[in-house]
């Protein structure tokens, strides 16, 4: 084994990201409070969830103004315009002076020890006010209270001052009755409130390919700027592909392109567009000097890395990570061209990928809160039953990968509401009828969903297992055990209800008490991933369904990722790797820089870009297609957190026919480096983590920092997490 193998160095030559860095955030995040990792105050104070709700509103407004065929159902959270805040502090002696500096928006009223002494209207941008609070203080315990009433934006404030600085001791409420901890946003400057921040921009340059086509080299996102000389009219169209850029028919366009603005020799587009190519038409009297893009990018660094003996897989990992990176805005969105907004199932897949690449905690937490909605008792996440279940899985992953127990405490009331809503829909068997949801999605493929969908029941099993893990992480072992028992009962009923001996597979549904006769890949995928299928049946469905070309293919790379996971669970590692080479590699061979919303290898020519019966509706940068990052980093190593924040972890590598694999797994304390070659495994355990080697009986524990050398034995097929 090569002792010096570095996955970051080995994967860097395959990078296609113009803002790539494994060492620092790019673009520079200086001055952005929302991206700050500071641990000390003062902090901006918000009601929990309000900043995520406001950002969601901003993003929905932009998406609906630019995306022509946008469909984004759901009832989402809104921010609250009124905030009550309070903090107590003790003064053994009165100080000689006590000045505070208040920054806020809206109308502010201050009280100390029940006495109202300050009332003022603040503008919708940070403006400070110096306030002397000494006359209202007393020896012993003191209480300061602030009431904010805002219009059109969330309430937010910050206080600097030795006695009442905004720190973790503050409590907030929207009704002055129910008090809770606020959202704390580190202070990085007064130019604007955190919820008003914009993403930093990089300037990208296009290459002229001839015949009016300009190429930025990769999929990207931004505002085109065209410098010109001479006179004449300029028209512009953009596309994720050259055919789309050339097609200027209004009905074919997926994005609304506003008229170009001309100033100082430059035409500029006022909208942020998803594109790789620009097509420009103009008379000979007008000369193009250069074509640039002002690209707003979410500051990231590649904390995770993957490289292996198959360069095709290393290349695909990097493209998959870049696919997710472009879909990282202030919230994690499904795709750039359409819909540019969060969806629950997409978010779960994005979380799986983020956990092993950029490891951005705040992005996922904001997205979880924004998507939750105000009424899970009547409406699912995005109106989709399976997306409510995926929301629970995504929450579990966030807890285990980042170990933010304060976030879990804040979000627990939302989780409990959702669990109660799901339970209210269940029949006496614990099954959720399809009629109890507005929409059962699963995938864009032929799956029977009437009556009782097997996919939904098995996803419910997975969600219950996830809740048990959440409770265990919170130290609630009794509730965790109860939830595990509930999951086992439902898993057993699923196995009995949906397995067909005649068909040697799991069927899609039950209608009027009778098994359906349709066998799809998704039903059998979730039978494997939920643990419903035992070892014998896993082998049966692997051969009879997953490796059987006569069974209709899944509809998207999203579900294809789940199928690859199921194959891995069935012991078919090389088949899983073949899927990545065939499907994601097929997109690369078709010219993809980022991965597409859908892929059908039978399609050729311009039809590869069509979707939803529209010629260019297919998103060519879709986060739910970034699954190879998870498949390669997580599944080949078998690495898994056993405690929140990777405080304890284990692994069971299986790299199939690969010669070697080298992986960096990001965690809160740094990175776990895993190198595998043949039967030899090296694990670099960071400080703050414990590597558990082996199974429960006779397991050895290694406290980091240390390097563990071992020989790979049998492979333990672990659950999806």
Q: Convert the pLDDT of each residue in 442-456 to its tens digit.
A: 999 999 999 999 999
Residue 84 banded pLDDT, cuts 50, 70, 90: very high
Instruction: Yes or no: say if 518 and 511 are a contact pair by the CB < 8 Å rule.
Output: no
Q: Where are the alpha helices (DSSP H) in 652-707?
A: none
pLDDT on residue 379: 73
| Residue 716 reports pLDDT greater than 50 | no
What is the residue-averaged pLDDT of the chain? 94
How far apart (Å, rounded) are the C-alpha atoms in residues 3 and 7?
12
pLDDT on residue 437: 81
pLDDT in tens, 494-541: 999 999 999 999 999 999 999 999 999 999 999 999 999 999 999 999
pLDDT on residue 699: 85
How far apart (Å, rounded) are the C-alpha atoms in residues 698 and 683?
19
pLDDT in tens, 283-294: 999 999 999 999
pLDDT on residue 181: 92
On the CB side of 525, how many CA atoms lie within 13 Å of its CA? 23
Q: What does the pLDDT average to over 572-585? A: 97
| Residue 714 reports pLDDT greater than 70 | no
| Residue 37 reports pLDDT greater than 90 | no
Residue 658 banded pLDDT, cuts 50, 70, 90: very high
What tokens does 23 get?
Answer: 């060492």
| Residue 3 reports pLDDT greater than 70 | no
pLDDT on residue 715: 46
- pTM of the entire predicted model: 0.95
What tokens does 299 get?
Answer: 């500051």
* Phi, psi of 240, rounded to the nearest 5 degrees: -80, -15
| Residue 124 reports pLDDT greater than 90 | no
Torsion angle of alpha carbons 708, 711, 713, 715, nearest 10°?
Answer: 50
| Residue 582 reports pLDDT greater than 70 | yes
On the CB side of 74, how many CA atoms lie within 13 Å of its CA? 27
What tokens does 707 get?
Answer: 């390097």
pLDDT on residue 377: 58
How far apart (Å, rounded) are the C-alpha atoms in residues 650 and 693?
6
Q: What does the pLDDT average to over 111-132? A: 92
Single out the residue of 694, 697, 695, 668 nearest to residue 683, CA to CA. Answer: 694
pLDDT on residue 126: 82
Q: Is the peptide bond before 42 cis (omega within 30 degrees of 0)?
A: yes
pLDDT on residue 721: 46
pLDDT on residue 718: 40
pLDDT on residue 184: 92
How far apart (Å, rounded) are the C-alpha atoms in residues 641 and 240?
38
Residue 720 banded pLDDT, cuts 50, 70, 90: very low
More confident: 696 or 82 = 82
pLDDT in tens, 553-567: 999 999 999 999 999
pLDDT in tens, 149-186: 998 899 999 999 988 999 999 999 999 999 999 999 99
What tokens does 98 get?
Answer: 């006590």
Residue 697 banded pLDDT, cuts 50, 70, 90: low
């Amino acid at each position: 084994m090569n002792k010096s193998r570095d996955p970051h160095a080995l994967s860097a030559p395959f990078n296609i990201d113009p803002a790539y860095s494994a060492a620092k955030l790019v673009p520079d995040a200086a001055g952005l409070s929302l991206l700050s990792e500071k641990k000390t105050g003062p902090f901006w104070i918000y009601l929990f969830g309000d900043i995520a709700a406001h950002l969601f509103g901003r993003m929905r407004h932009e998406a609906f103004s630019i995306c022509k065929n946008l469909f984004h159902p759901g009832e989402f959270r809104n921010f609250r315009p009124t905030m009550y805040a309070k903090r107590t502090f003790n003064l053994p002696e009165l100080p000689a002076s006590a000045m505070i500096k208040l920054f806020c928006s809206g109308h502010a009223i201050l009280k100390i020890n029940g006495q109202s002494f300050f009332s003022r209207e603040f503008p919708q941008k940070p403006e400070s006010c110096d306030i002397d609070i000494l006359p209202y203080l007393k020896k012993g315990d003191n209480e300061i209270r602030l009431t904010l009433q805002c219009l059109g934006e969330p309430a937010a404030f910050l206080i600097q001052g030795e006695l009442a600085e905004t720190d973790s001791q503050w409590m907030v409420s929207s009704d002055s009755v129910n008090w809770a901890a606020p959202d704390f946003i580190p202070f990085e400057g007064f130019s604007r409130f955190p919820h008003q921040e914009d993403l930093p921009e990089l300037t990208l340059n296009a290459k002229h390919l001839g015949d009016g086509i300009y190429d930025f080299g990769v999929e990207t996102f931004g505002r085109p700027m065209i410098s010109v000389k001479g006179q004449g009219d300029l028209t512009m169209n953009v596309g994720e592909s050259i055919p789309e850029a050339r097609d200027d028919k209004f009905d074919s366009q997926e994005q609304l392109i506003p008229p170009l603005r001309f100033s100082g020799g430059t035409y500029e587009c006022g909208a942020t567009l998803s594109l790789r190519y620009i097509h420009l038409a103009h008379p000979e009297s007008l000369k193009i000097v250069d074509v640039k893009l002002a690209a707003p990018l979410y500051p990231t660094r590649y904390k995770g890395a993957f490289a292996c003996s198959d360069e095709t897989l290393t290349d695909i990992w990097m493209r998959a990570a870049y696919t997710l990176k472009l879909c990282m805005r202030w919230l994690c969105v499904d795709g750039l061209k359409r819909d540019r907004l969060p969806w629950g199932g997409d978010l779960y897949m994005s979380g799986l990928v983020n956990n092993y690449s950029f490891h951005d905690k705040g992005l996922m937490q904001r997205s979880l809160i924004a998507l939750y909605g105000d009424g899970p008792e009547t409406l699912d996440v995005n109106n989709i039953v399976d997306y409510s279940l995926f929301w629970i899985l995504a929450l579990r992953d966030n807890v285990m990968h980042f170990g933010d127990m304060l976030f879990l405490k804040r979000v627990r009331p939302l989780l409990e509401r959702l669990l109660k809503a799901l339970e209210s829909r269940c029949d006496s068997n614990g099954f959720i009828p399809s009629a109890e949801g507005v929409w059962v999605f699963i995938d864009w493929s032929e799956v029977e969903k009437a009556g009782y969908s097997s996919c939904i029941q098995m996803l419910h099993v997975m969600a219950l297992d996830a809740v048990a893990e959440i409770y265990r992480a919170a130290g609630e072992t009794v509730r965790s055990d109860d939830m595990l028992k509930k999951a086992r009962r439902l898993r057993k009923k699923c196995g009995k209800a949906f397995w067909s001996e005649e068909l040697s597979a799991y069927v899609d549904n039950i209608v009027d008490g009778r098994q359906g006769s349709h066998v799809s890949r998704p039903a059998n995928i979730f039978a494997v991933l939920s643990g419903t299928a035992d070892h014998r049946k896993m082998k049966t469905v692997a051969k009879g369904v997953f490796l059987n070309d006569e069974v209709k293919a899944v509809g998207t790379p999203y579900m294809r990722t789940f199928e690859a996971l199921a194959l891995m669970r069935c012991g078919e590692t090389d088949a899983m790797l073949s899927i990545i080479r065939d499907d994601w590699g097929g997109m690369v061979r078709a010219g993809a820089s980022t991965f597409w919303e859908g892929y059908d290898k039978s399609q050729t020519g311009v039809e590869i870009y069509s979707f939803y019966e529209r010629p260019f509706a297919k998103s060519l940068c879709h986060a739910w297609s970034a699954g190879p990052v998870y498949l390669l980093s997580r599944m080949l190593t078998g690495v898994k957190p056993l405690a929140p924040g990777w405080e304890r972890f284990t692994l069971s590598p299986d790299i199939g026919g690969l010669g070697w694999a080298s992986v960096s797994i990001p965690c809160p304390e740094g990175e776990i480096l895993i190198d595998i070659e043949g039967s030899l495994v090296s694990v670099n355990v960071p400080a703050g983590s414990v590597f558990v080697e082996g199974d429960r009986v006779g397991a050895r524990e290694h406290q980091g920092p240390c390097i563990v050398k071992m020989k790979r034995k049998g492979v333990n097929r672990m659950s999806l997490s």
